[in-house]
């Protein structure tokens, strides 16, 4: 019997009629695995969903409908663009999903990424350790020996570096514990220098009263002889 799809274009979806007619189990609750919007690893999201589906014992058709509710943003827009009736089982949905979002898959980093890390000239030890640990989480194959060598390779030359050379640690965890002591000293010294620094002056220079522009000097009067009248001279009679 041929499948009959809704005539309204707004109601057409890529699911087959069998999936559309499947009812969700009683007491259905959406799995708390978050939404997928293409910004995460598709395999990781799918793995979380399959674990939740196994816990709740979803049927194959129910898995399709529940998995759709975990899509958001560009992923939901992608689903709406699939051909009508193209998804007949969860395996179809799964393989189509992984194939389309394969570019978002996160690939494991190698230990060469650890040796590329360098502590900045003025970077605190705490910041360098946090950056190193963040990258080390993406390199599960790195042994404790490789972690120590890579960390020491990028560590700046200071008291902690010289201590590691003189007194090597047995494993990476022991080295992190030793680093915690140096972090406390480093941060205490930074706080002491900050307290000893004089506060910036808040006194603003007084504004000067604007002076009138200089006036040109008057020209000196030309020196002229001064005549003083003498006694009156009368003619003789």
4 part of a folded domain = no
Please state the domain count of the chain: 2
Q: Does the residue 236 lie in any domain?
A: no
Cα(1)–Cα(16) distance, integer angstroms:
13
User: pLDDT tens, 183-219?
Assistant: 999 999 889 988 887 766 666 555 566 666 666 655 5
**What share of the chain has pLDDT > 70, as a percent?**
78
Q: CA–CA separation, 11 vs 216, rounded Å? A: 93
Domain range for 191 is 112-195
Residues 66 and 27 in one domain: yes
Query: 6 pLDDT exceeds 60?
Result: no
Residue 231: alpha-carbon gap to chain centroid: 109
- Does 99 share its domain with 120? no
The answer to whether residue 30 is domain-embedded is yes
**Residue spans of alpha helices (H) in 85-158:** 90-100, 112-115, 125-136, 144-154
The answer to the question of residue 83 being in a domain is yes
> What is the residue whose two structure tokens read 């194939």?
99
Shared domain for 98 and 16, answered yes or no, is yes
Residue 142 CB-half CA count within 13 A: 25
User: Do 16 and 96 sit in the same domain of this protein?
Assistant: yes
Gap between the Cα atoms of 191 and 198, Å rounded: 13
Same domain, 100 and 58: yes
- Of 70, 104, 138, the residue at which a domain comes to its end is 104
For residue 36, the SS3 value is: strand
CATH number of the domain enclosing 188: 1.10.1200
Asked, for residue 23, whether it belongs to a domain, the answer is: yes
For the ranges 12-21, 149-158, 182-191, 200-209, the lowest mean pLDDT is seen at 200-209
Which pLDDT does position 111 carry in this prediction? 79
Alpha carbons 54 and 51: distance in angstroms, whole number: 5
Q: Are 74 and 81 in contact (CB under 8 A)?
A: no
Name the pLDDT band for 237 (thresholds 50, 70, 90).
Answer: very low
Domain boundary among 104, 134, 154: 104
């Amino acid at each position: 019997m041929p499948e009959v799809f809704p005539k309204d274009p707004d109601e057409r979806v890529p699911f087959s009629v069998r999936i559309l007619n499947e009812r969700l189990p009683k007491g259905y609750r959406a799995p708390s695995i978050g939404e997928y919007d293409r910004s995460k690893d598709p395999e990781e999201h799918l793995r979380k969903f399959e674990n939740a589906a196994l816990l709740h014992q979803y049927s194959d058709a129910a898995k399709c409908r529940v998995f759709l509710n975990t899509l958001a943003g560009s992923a939901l827009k992608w689903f709406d663009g699939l051909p009508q009736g193209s998804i007949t089982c969860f395996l179809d949905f799964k393989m189509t999903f992984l194939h389309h979002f394969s570019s978002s898959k996160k690939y494991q980093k190698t230990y060469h990424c650890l040796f590329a890390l360098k502590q900045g000239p003025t970077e605190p030890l705490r910041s360098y350790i946090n950056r190193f640990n963040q990258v080390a989480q993406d390199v599960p194959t790195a042994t404790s020996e490789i972690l120590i060598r890579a960390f020491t390779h990028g560590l700046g030359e200071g008291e902690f570096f010289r201590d590691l050379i003189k007194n090597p640690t047995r494993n990476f965890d022991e080295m992190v514990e030793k680093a915690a002591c140096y972090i406390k000293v480093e941060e205490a010294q930074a706080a002491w220098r900050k307290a000893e620094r004089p506060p910036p002056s808040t006194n603003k220079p007084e504004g000067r009263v604007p002076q009138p522009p200089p006036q040109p000097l008057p020209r000196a009067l030309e020196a002229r002889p001064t005549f003083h009248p003498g006694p009156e001279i009368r003619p003789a009679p």
